[in-house]
Amino acid sequence: MAVDYGEARTGIAVSDPTGSIAGDAWTIVERDRDALVRKIVAEASDREVRLIVVGFPRNMDGTAGARAVRSAELADMLRGAVGIEVTLWDERLTTVDAHHILDTVGRHGKKRKTVVDAVAASLILEGYLGGRPEVSHFK
């Protein structure tokens, strides 16, 4: 499972059963971080997820800014709430890439706003799965 954490909307994506590619993706609309953690944990449990990858939005120079710090804090909260591995994954430019993908398929306006975080989470998951040689056991 990948998480693209946002202040108001958080993108979630899970892999296909083989752990080869990103499958389902959706957005959780939640501003309260404690409530968000509960919702992510519930989804992970319902889907029998064995690993959560939280996007870590480094600055282009590799430093960790305020958004990265908030993502790391969310990852720590998830580690304390769920009995599976939680890891951070460099997600530089995934939201930019998500906007490019949505431009390509003609998604604009309000509909775009509701899916961009889910697309970004899928890109985080795809990047993680593609960077791991043992992808077949992740969900």
Q: What is the pLDDT of residue 46?
A: 95
Give the residue extent of every domain in the chain: 2-137
Check residue 46 and give left, alpha or beta (phi > 0: left; psi -120 to 50: alpha).
alpha
Per DSSP, what are the bridge partners of residue 27? 11
pTM, two decimals, is: 0.80
Superfamily of domain 2-137: YqgF/RNase H-like domain (3.30.420.140)
What are the pLDDT digits (tens) for 107-120? 555 565 667 778 78
Determine how β-strand 9-15 pairs with β-strand 22-29. antiparallel
